[in-house]
């Protein structure tokens, strides 16, 4: 560890580190623009200049760029020297000659790195009186604003978008004073990580367009640590909310990244960043709705569908309480249906209310089995669930049948970094430090081996060493031969055609020789064989190397793995529920559906059997959906950003999220509706009495910890509502939060006390602990002089290290269980000339149930389509763009026919969860028929 | 394990980034042949981008959006990346230019030797500003930092041909000659030629 001197003080520095990182780690405020903790240095902006002295006799020294200077033992530097300060001031002054004077109307203002650095460099007067160069801005889609006049040409945007995220449509154009960062022509930025430009850009060139629609300054946002609910990766987010001040409901205004080293680091995907807006959507349930008794003339409701009107919550809760009372008297059955998109706490509350035998997962048998298999696989001691930095350091990766670009996007971004590991190793051999970004990227080295086998050509195809496309059955066969070959058994491989055999051999050899091999798979193909094979390969590799092998299994939804923990193998699926209900048809039955649209989970027949057997359907949910049409009573549920709870991500990590704001109207956490009903019950069984006594979210977390050994860790994630720091709770609002009296003035001129929070160690107020350095429970990342998100470096143990303080993410403790013996069944896919097999395709925008409720995402979501191979298109006599009729599982849908050379013949790709086709997702893969029709437009309901 | 594995169905796609649906604007056979000759000089296809743009410009006078897309499809590099190259180099024309492109040197030597007067002369004679095309489509005037011929200042280059020790009179004569030649060929009222 070299010892260096900066302005007369000694510091210990990491070997090979650059001087800028060392200064920032030491807490020295040194301005910079182009350096980024995840992307290293390129020395483009010249802002971080310092003086380096040859030795103690050297009184003059020379200017060096600290980001490009490797520290050396005994090095003497000065940040404070007048010459260095003047130089840095000059750089800012030069940048400012073209930067507009628009801070008051710029959406970056108040969290602008350029503002911070300008202040820091002491450049407070403008001397330049000439004309500023002006640019025309581009339309970049519904997510990102473009204001090129503000650009300071630091190149961070293209370094992130092109070099880090693999985008190809954002480039530096022109040169000199005219440098322009944009697309070839107007249009949506194609890369799924484009939203990070908002945070990567040190000034206001790229800003969040969805935020613009309800913009307020950063300091006026109320925030708390949250977890993204749009996939199972579990990225940490800091959503921001604020009431509009006109007496209307509070608005969830934006989502920004919240640093978590092991999961999302500095970056989110666009579904996660822009999907928040579903909370403000018109489909949001804000009041208690009850089905009307009488028919309404000219209603568009189909037979069996209900029409609803708003009622006050009290009679509704009393109604539910009456049902609970009848249950206790044995005159009624109560069935609870949980949800993989609701918290552990909500699911647990419902399970306790209905009893574990009456609690069902809300998933089809196929889905639940897949998840239980994932859970079982992860319990094997030979399997290791990798963190994001571990994925990034894998030296050989095999992706089996999982379209991670669309099902676990943040993992795909990590895989993209892993492709550079050979290049990085070469750099180390050449003594080039890894932060020398441009130098390392210039090295012409073969990409690290990444193999993809799946249905659709992935975005990652530009960095994979081989992309193999095939049906799920073929993927499983291929994977099985790899597992065999690693063990030295080539019977499987010998049956393959020569080119496939060569591929299998190459993959097996590469994995066997790798030091950190990584297998990635998941539920995306909806094939248990593929997950079995992935587990088998990982276990085999672990056996041969006698250390656990990394296996990432992507789950479909935010709490899929958490929900799975409630059900023993073979229990809790919807088909079973339909069966049970029909057997016990004598007793009246109330069905409580928790945050779940059953039509997305099972075939229409099963769902209708369930609804027909229940004489009362009660739904607690956030958005109106198909299930809501059949509900007698609908309670408004809090969205993630309005509630507290725990999610278990695909890695098996439990993460607590906290309410950012209170839900509008009567919205509250689902479990509170159940507790309210229990409280209205006069006669309480001991079980009901326990439920009625729950007051805080942490009461449920503690009960979960006491009831399930895997959830014991829940007690330790984050403190409870009684936690105080220096006698204070943590403030959700910044110390500059404005207008707290005025905001509510429309309703009441007096300043009321802040809304009480019974759940969290936080307040909906400015009073309390403001410093993110004191606790990671503060999501308001801010430090004096550092108003932008760059201030996160102030709260890390070291640059790119863990966040200071107790971690809010802890792996759940599951009983280790070795993988069961398993053999791939010989399957001969029956092929008839007319039938195609429908297989799921995934889309970043469209496949997420909640995120398509966000207006911006809905505007770029595809129309219903079905994708077939050229061969099948010829056979069916259809051409691309034809309107077709897709028959699947007794349903018929109008779709646009698309043709892809990559689609395996005999299959038809159906976008999973896409609006209009959402009821098909649970049926895939399944036999299907497709034929041309020309009398309807796509998207029109048949 | 099943022996019905159909290897031909698993398509082995080895790093073929050519998208299926990219609109294929076409390059002429001559252009393709010239571009292919350049492949030998570079490590990969993407590096040929600049040369390919020069070749296309040689044949078509300038690089239109369609030409840019055609080169992008032919070389299998993103159109934005090619645009980045095209807009970096001043002498890749992304707008139509006249038949004669005048590059007037504005370096220090030429400035001392009075290039400002020459520029005024040219602008008045042709009635164009730098970057514009004359109404008859004959001339485009561009300023350039240095043509590397300082000992013969002031200088200008017209379609690759150097003109040295310029005076207002010689400029007049050179331009008149050009106009005369084009009138003789009957091409001066054709407007900007883009083929």
**How would DSSP label each residue in A29-62?**
----SS-BTTTBB---S-TTEEEEESSTT-SS-E
pLDDT in tens, A419-454: 999 999 999 999 999 999 999 999 999 999 999 999
Instruction: Quote the pLDDT of residue A72.
Output: 94
Last residue of a domain, one of A562, A596, A619: A562
B44 at the A interface (CB within 8 A)?
no
Substitution target in A161, A174, A466, A837 with the highest count of B β-carbons within 10 Å is A174
Domains of chain B: 7-86 (no CATH), 100-185 (3.40.30.10)
- Say what the pLDDT of residue B187 is: 61
| Among the partner residues A466, A492, A824, nearest to B12 by beta-carbon distance | A466
Q: Where would I find the beta strands (DSSP E) of A286-390? A: 288-291, 308-311, 333-337, 359-360, 383-384
Which among A444, A496, A904 is the nearest to B5, CB-wise? Answer: A496
- Chain A hits for B88, Cβ within 8 Å: 173-175
- Which residues in chain B are contacts of A454 at CB distance < 8 A? none
Q: Show residues of chain B in contact with A503, CB under 8 Å.
A: 12
Tell me if B2 and A826 make a contact (CB, 8 A cut-off): yes
Inter-chain residue contact B81 with A171, CB threshold 8 Å: yes
Nearest CA to A37 among A798, A804, A806, A808? Answer: A798
Tell me if the bond preceding A925 is cis, omega within 30° of 0. Answer: yes
pLDDT confidence of residue B4: 32
Q: Chain A residue with minimal CA distance to B91?
A: A174
User: Exposed, middle or buried: residue A686 (CB in 10 Å: 0-12, 13-18, 19+)?
Assistant: exposed
Does residue A524 sit in the same domain as residue A658?
no
Which residue in chain A is spatially nearest to B77 when comparing CA positions? A168
Q: Is B88 on the interface with A (CB under 8 A)?
A: yes
Gap from A920 CA to chain B (nearest CA, Å): 26
How high is the ipTM of this complex?
0.86
B2/A828 CB distance under 8 A: yes
The DSSP string of B69-138 is HHHHHHHT--HHHHHHHHHHSTTS-SS---SEEEEEE-SHHHHHTTHHHHHHHHHHHHT--TT-B-TTS-
User: What's the pLDDT at A831?
Assistant: 56
Q: Which tokens belong to A323?
A: 């049902």
> Given A170, A491, A500, which is nearest B80 (Cβ)?
A170
Number of residues that make up chain A: 942
B2, B9, B80 ranked by CB distance to A470: nearest: B9
Q: How high is the pLDDT of residue A753?
A: 86
Say if A825 falls within a structural domain: no
User: Within an 8 Å CB–CB cutoff, is residue B87 touching chain A?
Assistant: yes
Q: What is the DSSP string of A62-116?
A: EEEEGGG-B--TT-EEESS-HHHHHHHHHHHHHHHTTS-S-GGG-TTTTS-HHHH
Pairing of strands A549-554, A383-384: parallel
Which helix (DSSP H) or strand (DSSP E) does residue A440 occupy?
helix A437-442
- Per-residue pLDDT at A375 exceeds 90: yes
A756-775 burial string, b = 16+ CB within 10 Å, else e?
Answer: ebebbbbbbbbebbbbbebb
Task: Let me know whether A184 and A244 are in one domain.
Answer: yes
> A625 and A655 in contact (C-beta within 8 Å)?
no
| Same domain? A688 vs A772 | yes
A632: in domain: yes
Residue A479 in contact with residue A400, Cβ under 8 Å? yes
Same domain, residue pair A450 and A307: no
Residue A5: exposure state from Cβ atoms within 10 A (0-12, 13-18, ≥19): middle
> Which member of A168, A471, A498 has the closest CB to residue B78?
A168
Contacts of A727 (CB under 8 A, 6+ apart): none
Q: Is B40 on the interface with A (CB under 8 A)?
A: no
Kindly list the residues from chain B whose CB atom is less than 8 angstroms away from the CB atom of residue A474: 5-6, 9-10
Helix/strand/coil (H/E/C) assignment for every residue in A643-701:
CCEEEECCCCEEEEECCCCCCCCCCECHHHHHHHHHHHCCCCCHHHHHHHCCCCHHHHH
Tell me the per-residue pLDDT of A253-273, one tens digit each, with 9 for 90 and over.
999 999 999 999 999 999 999
Q: How far apart (Å, rounded) are the C-alpha atoms in residues A875 and A866?
A: 15
CA-based nearest residue in chain A for residue B92: A174
Q: Which chain A residues are Cβ-neighbours of B15 within 8 angstroms?
A: 461, 464, 467
Shared domain check, A490 and A405? yes
User: Measured between CB atoms, which of B6, B81, B87 is closest to A174?
Assistant: B87
Give yes or no for residue B3 having a pLDDT over 60: no
Mean pLDDT of A396-418: 97
Which runs of consecutive H residues, i.e. helices, occur in A219-309?
270-274
Does pLDDT of A252 surpass 60?
yes
Q: Could you give the strand order of the β-sheet that contains A517-522, starting from the edge strand earlier in sequence?
A: A383-384, A549-554, A517-522, A396-400, A450-454, A466-469, B11-13
First to last CA, chain A: 70
For residue B190, is pLDDT > 50? Answer: no
Position B85 scores a pLDDT of 95
Give me the pLDDT at residue B195, please: 38
Average pLDDT, integer, range A282-300: 81
Q: What are phi and psi of A517, to 5 degrees?
A: -70, 155
Record: contact A175-B14, CB cut-off 8 A = no
- Are A495 and B1 in contact (CB < 8 Å)? yes
Percent of chain A beyond pLDDT 70? 97
User: Is a pLDDT exceeding 50 seen at residue B183?
Assistant: yes
Alpha-carbon gap: B60 to the closest alpha carbon of chain A (Å)? 20
Range of the domain at A333: 288-367+570-795
Contact (CB<8Å) B10/A500: yes
> Does a structural domain hold residue A942?
no
Do A87 and A153 belong together in one domain?
no
Q: What's the pLDDT at A934?
A: 63
Same domain for A149 and A233, yes or no, is yes
3-state secondary structure of A375: helix
pLDDT tens across B7-53, in order? Answer: 333 434 333 334 433 344 589 999 999 999 999 999 888 899 999 99
Residues A306 and A232 in one domain: no
CB atoms within 10 A of CB A204: 25
- A813: which residues sit within 8 A by CB, 6+ positions away? A709, A710, A712, A713
Q: What is the CATH number of the domain that holds A400?
A: 3.40.228.10
* Position A741 pLDDT exceeds 90: no
pLDDT at A298: 60
Q: Do B5 and A901 touch (CB under 8 A)?
A: no
Taking residues A166-174, what's their average pLDDT?
A: 96
> Quick one: A165 and A252 in the same domain?
yes
In this structure, is residue A105 part of a structural domain?
A: no
Q: Are residues A555 and A585 in the same domain?
A: no
Contact at CB, B81 and A496, closer than 8 angstroms: no
Mean residue pLDDT of chain A comes to 93
CA angle A163, A167, A169 (to 5 degrees): 120
The reported pLDDT for the residue numbered A748 is 82
Q: How confident is the model at residue B157 (pLDDT cuts 50, 70, 90)?
A: very high
Min Cα–Cα distance to chain B from A873, Å: 15
Chain A positions touching B8 (Cβ under 8 A) are: 497
Q: How many helices (H) and strands (E) does chain A have?
A: 28, 37
Q: Do A901 and B20 touch (CB under 8 A)?
A: yes
Contact A391/A414 with Cβ under 8 angstroms?
yes
What is the CB neighbour count within 10 angstroms for residue A869? Answer: 22
Convert the pLDDT of each residue in A110-164 to its tens digit.
999 999 999 999 888 889 999 999 999 999 999 999 999 999 999 999 999 999 9
Judged against a pLDDT cut of 90, whether residue A718 lies above it is answered with no
**What would the two tokens of residue A882 be?**
């034809």
DSSP conformation class of A637 = B
**A473, A541: one domain:** yes
Number of domains in chain A: 5
Query: What does the pLDDT look like over A498-556, one tens digit per residue?
Result: 888 999 999 999 999 999 999 999 999 999 999 999 999 999 999 999 999 999 999 99
Is the CB of residue B145 less than 8 Å away from at least one CB of chain A? no
Contact B2 A180 (CB under 8 A): no
Query: Domain boundary at A245, A280, A315, which?
Result: A280
The CATH number of the domain holding residue A576 is 3.40.50.740
Of the three residues A224, A254, A280, the one that is the final residue of a domain is A280
- Axis-axis angle for helices A365-379, A574-583 (nearest 10): 130
A106 falls within a domain: no
To the nearest whole angstrom, how far is the Cα of A718 from the nearest Cα of chain B? 47
Which DSSP helix (H) or strand (E) runs through A239?
strand A236-242
Task: Give burial (CB, 10 Å; 0-12/13-18/19+) of A830.
Answer: exposed
Tell me which chain B residue has its CA closest to the CA of residue A175: B88
- Inside any domain, residue A118: no
Which residues in chain B are contacts of A505 at CB distance < 8 A?
A: none
Q: How confident is the model at residue A835 (pLDDT cuts 50, 70, 90)?
A: confident
CATH of the domain at A862: 2.40.40.20
* Spatial contact of A287 and A300, defined as CB atoms under 8 Å apart: no
**A722/A863 same-domain check:** no
Are A474 and B9 in contact (CB < 8 Å)? yes
Are B80 and A444 an interchain contact pair (Cβ–Cβ within 8 Å)? Answer: no
Residue A475 within any structural domain of the chain: yes
Domain membership flag for residue A845:
yes
Contact B17 A462 (CB under 8 A): yes
């Amino acid at each position: 560890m070299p010892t260096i001197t900066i302005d007369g003080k000694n510091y210990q520095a990491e070997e090979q580190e650059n001087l800028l990182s060392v200064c920032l780690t030491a807490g020295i405020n040194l301005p910079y623009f182009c350096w980024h903790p995840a992307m290293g240095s390129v020395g483009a902006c010249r802002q971080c200049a310092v003086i380096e002295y040859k030795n103690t006799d050297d009184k003059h020294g020379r200017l060096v760029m600290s980001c490009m200077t490797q520290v050396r033992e005994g090095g003497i530097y000065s940040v404070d020297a007048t010459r260095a300060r003047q130089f840095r001031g000059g750089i800012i002054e030069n940048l400012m000659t073209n930067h507009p004077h628009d801070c008051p109307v710029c959406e970056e203002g108040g969290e602008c790195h350029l503002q911070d650095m300008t202040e820091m460099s002491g450049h407070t007067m403008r001397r330049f009186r000439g004309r500023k160069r002006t640019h025309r801005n581009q339309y970049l889609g519904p997510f990102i604003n473009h204001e090129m006049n503000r650009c300071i040409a630091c190149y961070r945007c293209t370094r992130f978008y092109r070099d880090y995220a693999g985008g190809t449509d954002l480039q530096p154009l022109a040169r000199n004073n005219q440098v322009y960062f944009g697309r070839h022509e107007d249009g949506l930025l194609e890369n799924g990580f484009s939203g990070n430009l908002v945070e990567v850009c040190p000034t206001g060139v790229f800003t969040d367009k969805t935020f613009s629609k309800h913009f307020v300054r950063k300091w006026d946002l109320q925030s708390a640590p949250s977890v993204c609910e749009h996939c199972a990766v579990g990225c940490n987010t800091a959503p921001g909310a604020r009431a509009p001040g006109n007496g209307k409901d509070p608005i969830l205004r934006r989502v920004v990244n919240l640093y978590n080293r092991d999961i999302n680091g500095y970056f989110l995907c666009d579904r996660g960043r822009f999907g928040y807006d579903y909370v403000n959507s018109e489909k949001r349930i804000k009041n208690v709705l009850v089905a009307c008794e009488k028919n309404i003339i000219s209603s568009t409701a189909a037979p069996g569908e209900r029409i609803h009107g708003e009622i006050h919550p009290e009679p509704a809760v009393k109604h539910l309480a009456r049902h609970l009372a009848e249950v206790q008297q044995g005159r009624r059955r109560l069935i609870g249906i949980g949800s993989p998109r609701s918290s552990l706490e909500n699911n647990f509350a419902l399970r306790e209310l209905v009893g574990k035998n009456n609690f069902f997962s809300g998933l089809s048998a196929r889905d639940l089995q897949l998840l239980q298999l994932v859970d079982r696989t992860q319990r094997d001691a030979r399997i290791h669930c990798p963190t994001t930095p571990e994925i990034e350091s894998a030296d050989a990766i095999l992706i089996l049948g999982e379209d991670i670009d669309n099902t676990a996007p943040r993992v795909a971004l990590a895989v993209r970094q892993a492709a550079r590991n050979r290049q990085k190793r070469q750099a180390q051999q050449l003594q080039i430090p890894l932060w020398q970004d441009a130098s390392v990227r210039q090295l012409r080295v073969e990409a690290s081996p990444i193999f993809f086998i799946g249905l659709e050509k992935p975005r990652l195809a530009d960095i994979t060493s081989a992309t193999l496309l095939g049906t799920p059955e073929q993927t499983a066969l291929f994977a099985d031969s790899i597992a065999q070959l690693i063990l030295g058994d080539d019977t499987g491989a010998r049956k393959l055609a020569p080119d496939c055999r060569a591929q299998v051999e190459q993959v097996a050899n590469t994995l066997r020789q790798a030091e950190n091999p990584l297998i990635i798979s998941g539920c995306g193909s909806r094939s248990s064989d593929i997950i079995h094979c992935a587990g088998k390969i990982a276990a085999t590799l672990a056996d041969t190397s006698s250390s656990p092998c990394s296996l990432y299994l992507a789950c479909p939804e935010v709490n899929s793995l958490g929900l799975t923990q409630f059900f023993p193998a073979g229990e809790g699926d919807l088909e079973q529920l339909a069966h049970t209900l029909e057997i016990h048809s004598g007793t009246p039955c109330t069905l409580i559906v928790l945050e779940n649209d059953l039509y997305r989970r099972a075939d229409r027949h099963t769902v209708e059997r369930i609804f027909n057997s229940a004489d009362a359907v009660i739904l607690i949910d956030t958005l109106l959906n198909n299930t809501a049409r059949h509900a007698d009573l609908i309670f408004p549920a809090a969205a993630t950003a309005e509630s507290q709870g725990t999610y278990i991500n695909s890695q098996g990590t439990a993460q607590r999220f906290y309410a950012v704001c209170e839900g509008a109207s009567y919205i509250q956490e689902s479990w509170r509706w159940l507790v309210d009903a229990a409280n209205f019950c006069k006669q309480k069984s001991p079980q009901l009495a326990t439920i009625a006594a729950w007051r805080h979210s942490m009461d449920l977390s503690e009960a979960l910890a006491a009831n399930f050994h895997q959830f014991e860790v829940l007690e330790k994630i984050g403190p409870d509502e009684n936690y105080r720091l220096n006698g204070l709770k943590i403030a959700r609002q910044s110390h500059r939060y404005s207008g707290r009296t005025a905001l509510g003035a429309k309703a009441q001129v007096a300043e009321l006390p802040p809304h009480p929070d019974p759940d969290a160690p936080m307040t909906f107020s400015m009073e309390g602990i403001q410093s993110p350095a004191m606790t990671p429970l503060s999501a308001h990342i801010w430090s004096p002089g550092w108003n932008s998100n760059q201030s996160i470096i102030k709260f890390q143990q070291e640059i790119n290290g863990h966040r200071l303080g107790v971690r809010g993410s802890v792996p759940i403790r599951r009983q280790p269980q070795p993988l069961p013996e398993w053999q791939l069944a010989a399957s001969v896919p029956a092929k008839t000339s007319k039938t195609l097999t429908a297989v799921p395709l995934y889309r970043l925008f469209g496949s997420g149930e909640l995120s398509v409720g966000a207006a911006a995402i809905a505007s770029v979501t595809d129309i219903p389509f079905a994708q077939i191979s050229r061969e099948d298109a010829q056979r069916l006599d259809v051409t691309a763009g034809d309107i077709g009729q897709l028959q699947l599982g007794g349903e018929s849908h109008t779709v646009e026919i698309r043709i892809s050379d990559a689609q395996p013949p005999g299959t038809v790709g159906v976008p999973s969860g896409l609006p209009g086709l959402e009821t098909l997702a649970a049926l895939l893969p399944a036999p299907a028929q497709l034929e041309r029709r020309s009398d309807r437009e796509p998207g029109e309901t048949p | 394990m099943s022996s019905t594995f159909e290897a031909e169905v698993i398509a082995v796609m080895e790093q073929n980034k050519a998208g299926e649906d990219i609109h294929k604007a076409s390059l002429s056979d001559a252009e393709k042949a010239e571009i292919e000759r350049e492949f030998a000089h570079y490590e990969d296809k993407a590096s040929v981008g600049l040369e390919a743009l020069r070749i296309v410009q040689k044949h078509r006078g300038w690089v239109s959006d369609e030409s840019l897309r055609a080169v992008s499809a032919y070389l299998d590099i993103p159109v934005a990346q090619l645009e980045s190259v095209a807009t970096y180099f001043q002498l890749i024309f992304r707008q139509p230019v006249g038949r004669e492109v005048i590059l007037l040197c504005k370096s220090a030597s030429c400035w001392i030797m009075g290039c400002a007067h020459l520029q005024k002369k040219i602008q008045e004679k042709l009635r164009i500003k730098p970057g514009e095309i004359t109404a008859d489509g004959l001339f485009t005037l561009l300023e350039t930092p240095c043509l590397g011929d300082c000992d013969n200042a002031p200088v200008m280059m017209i379609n690759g041909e150097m003109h040295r020790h310029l005076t207002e009179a010689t400029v007049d004569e050179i331009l008149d000659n050009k106009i005369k030649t084009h009138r003789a060929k009957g091409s001066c009222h054709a407007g900007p030629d883009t083929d």
